[in-house]
Amino acid sequence: MTMHALVVRDVMTKTPVTVSPDLGYKQIADLLIEFGVSAVPVVGGDRRVLGVVSEADLLHKVEYNGADVHAGLFERRRTRRAKEKATGETAAELMTSPAVTVPATATLTAAARLMEQHDVKRLPVVDDEGNLAGIVSRRDLLRRYLRTDEDIRGDVIDGVLLGVLWLDPVEVEVAVAGGHVTLTGKVDRRSTAQIAARLVRALDGVVGLTDELEWGFDDTTLQHRYTFDV
C-alpha cells in the first residue's frame, strides 16, 4: 500500500447532468428536480463549459414575476443582472458566466477554497484541455474523511513509516480511532519524529493527531558550517 492524496477526479461525479445553451427554463427546472441537484453546467458541443444554471438563477423569474424588470440606471450590478435573468427563457440567458471551474488534478482543499470564495455548492471539473470531465460538490469533498480507521492505519504504517521514513513499525505504535491518529514510541532523531507527524496529518481521512513520539537525538539544533579555502 502506498500513500495516496485524493484529488478532485477521485471524488467527482464523472457523468454529471448537463444542459445545452438552448434548453428552456421549464426543462432546466424539471432536470434539477428529477436529479436532485441545485445546479447544472451549460455545455457547448465541444464539451466546453459555458456557464452554470442554478436554482438561484431560476428563482429570479419567480422573484420578479409581474414586476417591472426594466433595469434602472443606478441599480446595483447584481440587481440589474437578476432582472435580466428574470426575462430569460434559455440556459444561455439564465446561466451565470463565466463558470467557476476546477481542474481534475486539483486538491480537495483547493476545491473547497474555491467553493468558499465564490459561495457555490458545486463546481464543474475540467480536464487538461478545458473540457468538462465531471462535477464536484461539497458532499463529495467530505469523502476524504469517510475512510475506515483500518485503512488510515495502513497508510500510516506502510506509506509513512515504511515507505518514506524506512522505520521499523515495531519502533512506533499507531492507533486510530474515529480518524484521530495517535503515535507513540521512540525514533532515533527529532527531525524524523517531526516529519512523521507532518506526513500523517496530511493523509486523507486523518482528522487529528496526538503526537507522543520520543527521540534519542535532537538534530534540529545543529548548525552546519562550511569553510572554504581560498
In a domain, 3, yes or no: no
List the one residue out of 137, 147, 188 whose CA is nearest residue 3.
147
Q: Based on the domain organization, do 139 and 172 belong to the same domain?
A: no
Q: Based on the domain organization, do 78 and 162 belong to the same domain?
A: no
pLDDT the model gives residue 170: 87
List the one residue out of 90, 87, 94 whose CA is nearest residue 24.
90
Strands 180-189 and 172-177: antiparallel
pLDDT the model gives residue 164: 92
Which residue, of 144, 166, 198, is where some domain finishes?
A: 144
Instruction: Say which amino acid occupies 54.
Output: S
Measured CA to CA in angstroms, residue 10 lies from 104, 134, 158 at distances of 8, 11, 21
- Do 123 and 106 touch, CB atoms closer than 8 A? no
CATH number assigned to the domain comprising residue 206: 3.30.1340.30
CA 125 to chain centre: 10
The answer to pTM > 0.85 is no
Host domain of residue 200: 149-221
Q: Based on the domain organization, do 62 and 162 belong to the same domain?
A: no
Q: Based on the domain organization, do 48 and 93 belong to the same domain?
A: yes
Can you tell me which residue has the cell 476546477?
Answer: 102
Q: Based on the domain organization, do 155 and 122 belong to the same domain?
A: no
pLDDT the model gives residue 221: 82
pLDDT the model gives residue 4: 58
Q: Based on the domain organization, do 120 and 164 belong to the same domain?
A: no
Q: ∠ at Cα 79 (76, 81), nearest 5°? A: 110
pLDDT tens digits in sequence order for the chain, 230 residues long: 445 567 899 999 999 999 999 999 999 999 999 999 989 999 998 899 999 999 988 887 766 554 444 444 444 655 556 666 667 789 999 999 999 999 999 988 889 889 999 998 899 999 998 899 999 999 888 877 778 899 999 999 999 999 999 998 889 999 999 889 999 999 999 999 999 999 999 888 888 999 999 999 999 887 444 444 44
